[in-house]
C-alpha cells in the first residue's frame, strides 16, 4: 500500500498521484496491472515511459461476462479460457476468432466486443512466460482490501471533509493489520508451507514462485532489476 488519496478519477488526478510516488522514490515500474480506471494507463506511461501497462485479466473476464446469462456463465468462461492461456498473441487472436464464430460468440456478441476493445491492453500479458503471468494475472489482492474499505465508507455515510475520510480509512487499515497479526501469531512455529494467515497490508505480500518470475523478468527487462535487488 503506497498511499491514500481522496480525488475524483481522471487522467490529471492520476498524473498527480504518480508524480508524487516518483518524487518519493519510485524510479521505475516494470509492469503495471490496471483494472479499467479512466486515464490511469495513460498517466502511467507518461510517468514511466518504459512501463508495460496491462489490463487485469480477471477484470477483463468479469467485464465480458456481464452480458452472459447466469446459466451460461460456466460454459462461456470455459470457452474463453483458451484466449488468455494461449502461448502467443497470434494464437490468442485465433482463439478469439473461434469464440466469435461459435454459438456462444453469436449469442453474446457484446462479450466479444469487450475483448476486442481491450485487446491492446491485454496482449502484453501474452509476452511473458507462465511464471510472470501468474503474478500479473489479477489485482484481486488489492481488490480484497478495497472491498473492506468500501464497506466501511458505505456504512458511515456522509463525512464533514476529506480528512475525516482519510482518518477513518487509516484506522480501518490498522484494524485489518491487527486482525491479520493475531492470525499470524497463531501460526508461529509452523512450517512456512502450512501457514495460511494473510500477510501485512501495508508492507505487502510475498509473491509465490518469485524465483522463477525473477529469472523471466531479468530476461525481459535486462539491467532494470539488478540495481535494486
pLDDT at 60: 92
Residues sharing a CB contact under 8 Å with residue 170, sequence separation 6 or more, in sequence order: 4
Cα 47 to Cα 19, 135, 221, distances in angstroms: 7, 23, 18
Residue given cell 456478441 in the structure block? 109
Query: How is residue 220 written as a grid cell?
Result: 525481459
CB of 121 closer than 8 Å to CB of 54: yes
Helix 73-84 and helix 109-117: axis angle, to 10°?
A: 30
Which residues have C-beta within 8 Å of that of residue 145, sequence separation ≥ 6?
A: 1, 173, 176, 201
Q: What is the pLDDT of residue 72?
A: 95
* pLDDT confidence of residue 85: 93
pLDDT reported for residue 112: 96
CA angle 135, 226, 89 (to 5 degrees): 40
Could you tell me the pTM of the whole model?
0.75
Is-contact 201 1, C-beta < 8 A?
yes
Cβ-contact 127, 53 below 8 angstroms: no
Residues pairing with 41 in the sheet: none
- What is the full per-residue pLDDT of the chain (229 aa) written as tens digits? 788 888 877 778 899 999 999 999 999 999 998 877 888 899 999 999 999 998 888 889 999 999 999 999 999 999 999 999 999 999 999 999 999 999 999 999 999 999 999 999 999 999 988 888 888 877 666 777 788 888 888 877 788 888 988 898 888 888 888 887 888 888 888 887 777 777 666 555 555 667 788 888 888 899 898 877 7
Nearest to 61 by CA among 30, 38, 85, 41: 85
- Segment 149-165, tens digit of pLDDT: 888 888 777 888 889 88
Amino acid at each position: 500500500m503506497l498511499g491514500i488519496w481522496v480525488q475524483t478519477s481522471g487522467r490529471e488526478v492520476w498524473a498527480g498521484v504518480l508524480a508524487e510516488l516518483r518524487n518519493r522514490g519510485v524510479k521505475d515500474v516494470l509492469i503495471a496491472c490496471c483494472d479499467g480506471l479512466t486515464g490511469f494507463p495513460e498517466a502511467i506511461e507518461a510517468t514511466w515511459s518504459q512501463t508495460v501497462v496491462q489490463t487485469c485479466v480477471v477484470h477483463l473476464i468479469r467485464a465480458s461476462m456481464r452480458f452472459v446469462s447466469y446459466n451460461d456463465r460456466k460454459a462461456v468462461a470455459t470457452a474463453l479460457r483458451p484466449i488468455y492461456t494461449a502461448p502467443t498473441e497470434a494464437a490468442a487472436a485465433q482463439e478469439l476468432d473461434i469464440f466469435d464464430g461459435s454459438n456462444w460468440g453469436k449469442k453474446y456478441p457484446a462479450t466479444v466486443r469487450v475483448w476486442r476493445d481491450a485487446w491492446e491492453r491485454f496482449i502484453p500479458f501474452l509476452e511473458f512466460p507462465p511464471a510472470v503471468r501468474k503474478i500479473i494475472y489479477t489485482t484481486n489482492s488489492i481488490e480484497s482490501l478495497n472491498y473492506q474499505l468500501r464497506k466501511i465508507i458505505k456504512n458511515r455515510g456522509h463525512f464533514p471533509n476529506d480528512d475525516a475520510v482519510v482518518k477513518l480509512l487509516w484506522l480501518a487499515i490498522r484494524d485489518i493489520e491487527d486482525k491479520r497479526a493475531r492470525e499470524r501469531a497463531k501460526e508461529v512455529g509452523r512450517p512456512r508451507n502450512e501457514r495460511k494467515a494473510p500477510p501485512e497490508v501495508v508492507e505487502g505480500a510475498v509473491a509465490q514462485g518469485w524465483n522463477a518470475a525473477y529469472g523471466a523478468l531479468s530476461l525481459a527487462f535486462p539491467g532494470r532489476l539488478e540495481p535494486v535487488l
